[in-house]
Chain A
Amino acid sequence: VPVFPWHSLVPFLAPTQSD
């Protein structure tokens, strides 16, 4: 049975920030 890491379920929304 495959086991998936929790973070694979969450979209990675990484805004590019200048600060």
Chain B
Amino acid sequence: STMVPPSLPPYFIKGSIIQLADGELKRVEDLKTEDFIQSAEISSELKIDSSTVERIEGSHTSPNFAVVQFSVGEHRTQVSVEVLVEYPFFVFGQGWSSCCPDRTTQLLELPCTKLSVGDVCISLTLKNLR
């Protein structure tokens, strides 16, 4: 299944102020892998999942979009997301990455590397409430 394409939200613009789960404020470009992991540990509802990029291809609907196929979590569930080519994902141990980092840097001024097959991105799921 392909999810609804997200637009390019304002919080990815360089300098945007992000609040971590413990209340600490950081700029979007300064976020580290640990910030997401620690915030998820504090959260009662959300947990971090590893989403490995399995495939990246151009969208059939528009050249501005790409379809990124992920393998999510321990069950390796296949999830496809249609996003703007400049939409940034956070790669474990690496930072912000997009299908077209030049455009991301141009539009958002957010330092960004090229998203590639095999990259492991941070994603969220609901905590299993037993």
The total of Cβ contacts below 8 Å across the A-B interface reads: 72
Q: How large is the interface on A (under 10, 10 to 19, 20 to 34, 35 or more residues)?
A: 10 to 19
Where chain B touches its partner, the secondary structure class is strand
**Given A15-B72, A15-B77, A17-B75: A10 and B31 interface contact (C-beta under 8 Å):** no
Cα A8 to Cα B20 in complex, Å, equals: 11
B51 part of interface (Cβ distance < 8 Å): yes
A9 cross-chain contacts in B, Cβ below 8 A: 11-12, 18, 28, 31, 90
> Is the CB–CB distance between B36 and A10 below 8 Å?
yes
B72 cross-chain contacts in A, Cβ below 8 A: 13, 15
A contacts, CB < 8 Å to B: 1-15, 17
Q: Can you list 13 A-B pairs with a CB-CB distance of less than 8 A?
A: A1-B17, A4-B10, A4-B11, A4-B18, A5-B18, A6-B36, A9-B11, A9-B31, A11-B124, A13-B79, A14-B125, A15-B125, A17-B75
B contacts, CB < 8 Å to A: 6, 9-12, 16-21, 25, 28, 31, 35-36, 39, 43, 46, 48-49, 51, 70, 72-73, 75, 77, 79, 81, 89-90, 121-126
